[in-house]
Structure formats: C-alpha cells, structure tokens
Amino acid sequence: MKLLFVADPLESFKTYKDSTFAMMREAARRGHTLLACEPQGLRWQRGRPVTAAAREITLKRDAERWFEVEAEHAALPLKDCGAVLMRKDPPFDSEYFYATHLLSQAEREGARVFNRPAALRDHPEKLAILEFPEHIAPTLVTRSADDVRAFHAEQRDIILKPLDGMGGMGIFRVGADGLNLGSIIETLNGGGAQTLMVQRYLPEIVQGDKRVLVIAGRPVPFCLARIPQGSEIRGNLAAGGKGVAQALSDADRRIAEALGPTLAARGLLLVGLDVIGDKLTEINVTSPTCFQEIMQQTSFDVAAMFIDALEAALDAAREVPR
C-alpha cells in the first residue's frame, strides 16, 4: 500500500527522535511503499484531482543519509494512495490552513487522510480543551487586559501563553506579586489585537508535563513526562525539559478514556494530550510526538500500535460502501 506523508522536509528530520520517521520505519517493515511531500507540493486544478509533488523513498541504515529517493512524482493523485498522513509540524498558520482545505478536497475525491483535515481545523490545540471543562484547570481566553488582571487577582499564580505557540514558546508565569504582569500582557496581546490564554499555575509541573498519546481512541499505556530543568517552568523538550517515560496514572487514563472515543469519532486517529497533575492543558492533533522516547525507555512499540490502527481504519473504510 502507498502511504503519503505530508511533512516537513525529510532532510530536517532528527531520526533518533522523530515520530514520523518511526511511523515510516514500521510501515516499511510491513512492506508499505513510502512517499513524502511538503505542503507546498499540494496542487489542485479544475477538472483534475488534488496532486502532490512527491518523492518515493526507501529507508537506509545510515543515520545521516537515512533515505534514498527511488522515484520522483511531479503530480501524484492523492486518491491513488492507500492513505495520506498529515504530519506537518506547527505553526498552524494560514498556509497550514489552506493545505487542510486541499486535503479535504482530496477526501471528496476518495483519498483517506489522517488526521482528517476538518478535524485539524476544528481542534486548535490550545482552545480544544474548552470543550472538556471538567478536566481542565481554571482557564481564561481573552483579549482584554482587564480580564487578565481580574483573573490574576482571583488565582494569584498564573500562566500566560499565546494561542499559536509551540514547544513552550511565549509562556510566562506571574506569581502573587504581579511582577511584570502589564508588560507580559502587552507582549502577548499586542494592545488587544491578539487573544491569549491564561491558566492557574499548576505546581505539579515539577513532576512533568505529561504527553499522553491516544491512538484510535485508546491510550498508549505509557506517557512521556517532560520535566522542567533548573529554574525553568516549562517542561517542553524544545525548552530543555527532560523526557521520562512512565506508566499512565489513574488520572491520565481517566482523561484519555473520557476524550479518546469522542476525538477518534471525529477522524482524529492520533492525539497527544498534555496533562499536568490531573489537569488537561492541551490537545495536540497536528503532529503528536514522543513515539521514540517512549519506545526507547519502555520497549512499548508506539509506532506498531499506530500502524495497526491505520491499517484497521483503512480495512473498515473499504467495507463501507461509498
């Protein structure tokens, strides 16, 4: 089966930790054909299907030159692939948004896309938690500086963050003294032009910001706790956090089992839930990671679970008349 990965440039992959690479490796082991393109390679013209400028690749054992191009496809119809996997990393900017619309058109033509493009659009990764208030900490979403100040006066210790950040970018903590609150608000909301999220600070962050992976509605039995180092408040690996794999806690499993079936039913085959203590902080749907860190530390093969789920979803789709 042909699997097309819509992703960042292959040359930028860090194969020792990249989850998309782990998916590719497991798919290749099962005999699937690997193809890759970048979002800018997607194309549609009236009277023709959505196509991709794609490379067909095989994997090599060399860590530096890890793939070899077997063929170049100038205009590969997405509907001719067994599955299309949207794995472009954030930011979810206008170009990402436009790519999801091209992928939705490909779906209408018969392509099978994971995660579903409409679901990617409907679940912005920070705002998606608002649907599940029973699982989140006190949270405010606003453009108003006065709203933020009132929330701080009530909660005393808060985290402020932009809605379009990734990897811990732009996250600030303001304690009871309110030091620099005004300046931080100005930085994040641009005088009321940008919406920001404010949440009560969760001291359990010292035990880690946990990435709980959910595949086809079922939680992976291990998560990766990303533990802040030194004086840092952010656990994100990109911000220097230390990744420690551990079995799911009762709270982790309760949240995953509560959300998993609902999200899977919407076409989200793979989701990454961020959990601090027993509170949900983010729902990652664009390109959830941590496959390899969990595999390396626990021997649980996350990529195998994912490809199992992908194959099962495709088998189920073939049984349903279109």
Whole-angstrom distance between the N-terminal and C-terminal Cα of the chain? 20
Mean pLDDT of the chain: 95
User: Between residues 187 and 166, which one has the greater pLDDT?
Assistant: 187
Annotated catalytic sites, by residue?
A: 126, 161, 211, 226, 234, 274, 282, 284
Structure confidence at residue 42 (pLDDT): 98
Structure confidence at residue 305 (pLDDT): 98
Question: Does the pLDDT value for residue 239 go beyond 80?
Answer: no
Question: What number of other Cβ atoms are within 10 A of residue 317's Cβ?
Answer: 11
Taking the C-alpha atoms of residue 232 and residue 236, their distance in angstroms, rounded to an integer, is: 10
The pLDDT tens digits of the residues spanning 185-213 come to 999 999 999 999 999 999 999 999 999 99
Going from the C-alpha of 282 to that of each of 93, 103, 120, 127, the distances in angstroms are: 18, 24, 14, 8
Structure confidence at residue 232 (pLDDT): 75
Going from the C-alpha of 241 to that of each of 183, 226, 236, 315, the distances in angstroms are: 26, 5, 5, 39
Cis peptide bond upstream of 91, omega within 30: yes
Structure confidence at residue 265 (pLDDT): 98
Percent of the chain at pLDDT above 70? 98
Question: Does the pLDDT value for residue 165 go beyond 80?
Answer: no
Q: Does residue 31 come out as left (phi exceeding 0), alpha (psi in the -120 to 50 range) or beta? A: left
Taking the C-alpha atoms of residue 213 and residue 97, their distance in angstroms, rounded to an integer, is: 24
Confidence of residue 6 (pLDDT cuts 50, 70, 90): very high
Structure confidence at residue 169 (pLDDT): 79
CATH superfamily, with its number, for domain 204-318: ATP-grasp fold, B domain (3.30.470.20)
Coil, helix or strand for 280? strand
β-pairing, 83-86 vs 113-114, is parallel
Segments of the chain assigned to CATH 3.30.1490.20: 138-201
CATH 3.40.50.720 is held by the domain 2-115: no
Going from the C-alpha of 316 to that of each of 54, 205, 214, 319, the distances in angstroms are: 27, 40, 19, 5
Is 0.75 topped by the overall pTM?
yes
Question: Does the pLDDT value for residue 229 go beyond 80?
Answer: yes
Whether 114 and 106 have beta carbons less than 8 Å apart is answered as no
Question: Does the pLDDT value for residue 173 go beyond 70?
Answer: yes
> Looking at residues 84-102, what average pLDDT do you find?
95
Question: Does the pLDDT value for residue 322 go beyond 60?
Answer: no
Structure confidence at residue 321 (pLDDT): 53
Structure confidence at residue 269 (pLDDT): 98
Under CATH, which architecture does the 138-201 domain have?
2-Layer Sandwich (3.30)
Confidence of residue 320 (pLDDT cuts 50, 70, 90): low
The pLDDT tens digits of the residues spanning 43-68 come to 999 999 999 999 999 999 888 899 99
Segments of the chain assigned to CATH 3.40.50.20: 2-115
Question: Does the pLDDT value for residue 168 go beyond 80?
Answer: no
Question: Does the pLDDT value for residue 71 go beyond 80?
Answer: yes
